Amino acid sequence: MFTLTVTPRFYETDAFRHINNTVMTGWFETSREPILRIFSPEFPVRGLTLILALIEVDFVAQTHYGAEVTIRTSIEKIGGKSFTVLHEAWQKDHVVARGKAVMVAFDFDAQQSVAVPEAQRAELQKHLAAPQ
């Protein structure tokens, strides 16, 4: 599991006085940066990298300004050329959002998706989510 703690910023609030929903996708992207570095150690230099195919966010509760948010990120499953990432955002001992992201191994130079190499696959497996 990867863990990222963010302090909500004032400009991330909106007129409903909560954190704007669109901010969560940015936090989830940020929590996936260690995964990008597994593929591209010198990210964002070109070569092997990942492209994002799909995201899903389930807004469980309002996220408030004024308290830290911890994002727990793990790998749900690994396919041939892609894998699925799971996110949970916690604030004050409550889940405020859950998310998924499907990422595809991509060779920028060849401009095509490629098999997840063995070295990266082994690294991802260390972060597999516990079966539920």
**Binder among 34, 38, 48, 55 for a copy of itself (CB under 8 A):** 55
The interface with a copy of itself within residues 2-21 (CB under 8 A) comprises 9-11, 13-17, 20-21
Q: Which two tokens stand for residue 1?
A: 């599991």
- The helix, strand and coil proportions of the chain, stated in percent and rounded to the nearest 5, come to 20, 40, 35
**Binder among 53, 78, 128, 129 for a copy of itself (CB under 8 A):** 53
Minimum separation from the CB atom of position 118 to a copy of itself (A): 25
The enclosing H or E element of 106 equals: strand 94-107
Q: With binding defined as CB under 8 A, does residue 107 bind a copy of itself?
A: no
DSSP 46-68: SSEEEEEEEEEEEE-SPPPTTS-
Closer residue to a copy of itself in complex, CB, 56/122: 56
